[in-house]
Amino acid sequence: MEAGIGRRIRKSRRLQNRTLQDIADVCGFTKSLLCKIEAGKTIPPVSTLSKIASALGVQVANLLSDEGNAGNVFTPASKTAQKSMTMTDKGYSFFAFASEKQGKIMQPYLFVAEKGKVKSKPLSHPGEEFVYVLEGSMKYRVGAVEYTLARGDSLYFDS
């Protein structure tokens, strides 16, 4: 999956006759970072994928999967196993549910964070967020308010 992300970014960029520097400038990244992502040498976090998708005018799902599906998408539990997740260097791994479904309104993710290793920074984007804690606990900041969420807690907010 990881090498495919970079390949799909490059393909989308080239179809639009845009340069690495053009996309990097729009995203606020270095050309070098975007080059590493396209080459599959670094795995971008979801926030970075979101910026790249926005700069390319595509949905994040288009960067995560080649397959197009207009109907229902069933995801067996075995597909969300740790081996199927995309690892980042930010202290978490993620799985994008229904990434093959094109034209969807929301993109659900499963995030698995390593305790004490998540490097967080403020992030905003158009849309909404939903956080549900499956196990453990976490702190999550929305604006000036910090929430402590435990197993079974959820948080829904405008991002």
- Confidence band, pLDDT 50/70/90 cuts, at residue 83: low
Q: What is the pLDDT of residues 46-62, one digit of tens each?
A: 889 989 998 988 888 78
Question: Residues near 23 by Cβ (< 8 Å), separated by ≥ 6?
Answer: 13, 34, 52, 55, 56
63 within 8 A of 102, measured Cβ to Cβ:
no
Q: What is the structure's pLDDT at 36?
A: 94
Segment 103-108 shows an average pLDDT of: 79
**Could you tell me the pTM of the whole model?**
0.57
Mean confidence (pLDDT) of the chain: 84
pLDDT digits (tens, 9 = 90+) for 136-153: 998 888 888 989 999 999
Does 119 score more than 90 pLDDT?
no
CATH superfamily of the 2-126 domain: lambda repressor-like DNA-binding domains (1.10.260.40)
**How, if at all, do strands 109-113 and 128-132 pair?**
unpaired
* Domain spans, the chain: 2-126
Structure-token pair, residue 148: 């402590």
